[in-house]
């Protein structure tokens, strides 16, 4: 069966949907969702909007916030889940040409924090409300939005159980992270770590009386980058993002803290890597304490894992890999076949003057509409 391609460039309905999506995106960007409170308020406003449009809506609490689950249709299993997040990264220290939370249109682009990552996808979902409702008469469609993907992924980790409690069983999910509308089914996972070294303070002229935490931490950084080179061919990357320590230039540093991460292609780190980490030999007697912060599994899914309606829609489209982690690995690990596909480029995410091309919003609207119509048609034909 050949998949329907959805709205076409130049069609009146695509132009109308694009205008709605742009209006929705402007409203979403204008809501500063860096903080937990801002993200929660954004989800509350979306909840009211989709409930007015006929969805069954829940704001489901978890440790650290609330997820939005908006369900269209009955509770039969095997529907489509459209998933994303509304939180954005901070703008502190970035040089923007204008207020990042006052969206603007500029030469075919929408500029503003979160435009690409990933409020553009959310805006497209909201703009396709009529198509979603029409599809839900044949098969359920569920919109799931989390508030903390950029920091802790707690919402995504809580979501599968929340869906089970509501007796909602998606047949497949699309996570709308920016892929320029390419289909991605593989990405790395990661482990965020904080490592603290505790030494002993002393006057810098009597280093023999102290134990430098910075010296130990610097050696540990070198060890991590040696591992980075050693395991590069195995798809494991080590990166140090921040180092904080010491109190004055003339005091042997008593404490030093590192924020670092491991990115990996498998769902779990191999024992070999764990042993290599444990093999670090400190140059002094500073004590080391490791604290895992966030663990997110990678994604590796084949077309064979997809339900038939999704597999036929994919057809002969290429299914690619991407270098960044998403919540897709969490959902796939919970038994929901999940692919990543959304408008915009990851190259624009998290940067000053973040933008999304309007043409990418149009491509998203057309592609999602095609998928929804295909889902309706295939369900009807099988009935």
pLDDT in tens, 328-367: 999 999 999 999 999 999 999 999 999 999 999 999 999 9
- Does 67 have pLDDT greater than 50? yes
- What is the 8-class DSSP label of residue 2? P
- pLDDT, average across residues 243-257: 97
- Does 2 have pLDDT greater than 60? no
DSSP characters over 36-76: HHHHHHHHHHHHHHHHHTT-EEEEEEETTEEEEEEEES---
- What gap in Å lies between CA 202 and CA 253, rounded to an integer? 8
- What is the 8-class DSSP label of residue 251? B
pLDDT in tens, 132-174: 999 999 999 999 999 999 999 999 999 999 999 999 999 999 9
Strands 255-264 and 237-245, by their bridges, are: antiparallel
- What gap in Å lies between CA 350 and CA 332, rounded to an integer? 25
- pLDDT, average across residues 189-210: 96
- Collect all residues with Cβ–Cβ distance below 8 Å to 218 and sequence separation of at least 6: none
Helices (H), 149-234: 154-165, 213-230
The rounded Cα 170 to chain-centroid distance in angstroms is 19
- Does 381 have pLDDT greater than 80? no
pLDDT in tens, 303-316: 999 999 999 999 99
% of the chain residues with pLDDT over 70: 94
Residue count (the chain): 383
**Residue 78 DSSP SS3:** coil
Q: pLDDT-derived band of residue 123, with 50, 70 and 90 as boundaries?
A: very high
Helices (H), 31-182: 36-52, 120-127, 129-136, 154-165
Q: What is each CA distance from 250 to 201, 202, 210, 247, 254, in whole angstroms?
A: 10, 9, 12, 9, 12
Q: pLDDT-derived band of residue 378, with 50, 70 and 90 as boundaries?
A: confident
**Average pLDDT value for the chain:** 93
pLDDT in tens, 266-317: 645 667 788 888 899 999 999 999 999 898 999 999 999 999 999 999 999 9
Burial 350-369 (b: 16+ CB within 10 A, else e): beebbbbbbebbbbbbbbbb
Q: What is the dihedral of CA 91, 96, 99, 102, to 10 degrees?
A: -90
Q: Give the residues across from 84 on adjacent strands.
A: 145
Q: pLDDT-derived band of residue 3, with 50, 70 and 90 as boundaries?
A: very low
Domains of the chain: 12-186+298-382 (3.40.630.10), 189-293 (3.30.70.360)
């Amino acid at each position: 069966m050949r998949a329907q391609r959805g709205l076409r460039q130049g069609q009146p309905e695509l132009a109308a949907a694009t205008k709605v999506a742009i209006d929705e995106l402007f409203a979403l960007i204008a809501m500063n969702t860096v903080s937990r409170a801002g993200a929660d308020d954004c989800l509350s406003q979306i909840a009211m909007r989709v409930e007015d449009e006929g969805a069954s809506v829940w704001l489901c609490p978890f440790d650290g916030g609330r997820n939005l689950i908006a369900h269209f249709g009955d509770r039969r299993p095997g529907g489509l889940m459209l998933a994303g997040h509304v939180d954005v990264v901070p703008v502190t220290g970035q040089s923007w040409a204008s207020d990042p939370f006052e969206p603007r249109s500029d030469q075919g682009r929408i500029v503003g924090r979160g435009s690409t990552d990933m409020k553009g996808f959310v805006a497209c979902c909201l703009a396709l409300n009529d198509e979603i409702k029409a599809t839900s008469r044949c098969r359920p469609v569920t919109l799931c939005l989390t508030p903390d993907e950029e920091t802790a992924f707690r919402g995504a980790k809580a979501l599968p159980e929340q869906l089970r409690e509501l007796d909602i069983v998606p047949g497949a999910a699309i996570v709308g992270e920016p892929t320029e509308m390419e289909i991605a089914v593989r990405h790395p996972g990661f482990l965020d770590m904080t490592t603290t070294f505790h030494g002993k303070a002393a006057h810098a002229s009597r280093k023999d009386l102290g134990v430098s935490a910075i010296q130990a931490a610097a050696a540990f950084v070198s060890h991590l980058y040696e591992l980075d080179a050693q395991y590069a061919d195995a798809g494991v990357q080590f990166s140090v993002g921040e180092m904080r320590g010491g109190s004055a230039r003339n005091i042997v540093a008593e404490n030093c803290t590192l924020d670092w991460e491991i990115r990996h292609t498998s769902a779990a780190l191999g024992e070999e890597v764990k042993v290599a980490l444990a093999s670090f030999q400190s140059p002094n007697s500073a004590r080391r304490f490791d604290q895992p912060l966030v663990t997110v599994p990678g994604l590796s899914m084949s077309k064979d894992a997809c339900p038939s309606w999704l597999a036929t829609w994919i057809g002969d489209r290429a299914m690619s890999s991407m270098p960044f982690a998403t919540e897709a690995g969490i959902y796939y690990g919970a038994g929901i076949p999940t692919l990543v596909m959304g408008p915009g480029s990851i190259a624009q995410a998290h940067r000053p003057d973040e933008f999304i091309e309007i043409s990418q919003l149009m491509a998203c609207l057309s592609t999602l509409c095609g998928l929804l119509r295909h889902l309706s048609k295939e369900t009807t034909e099988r009935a």
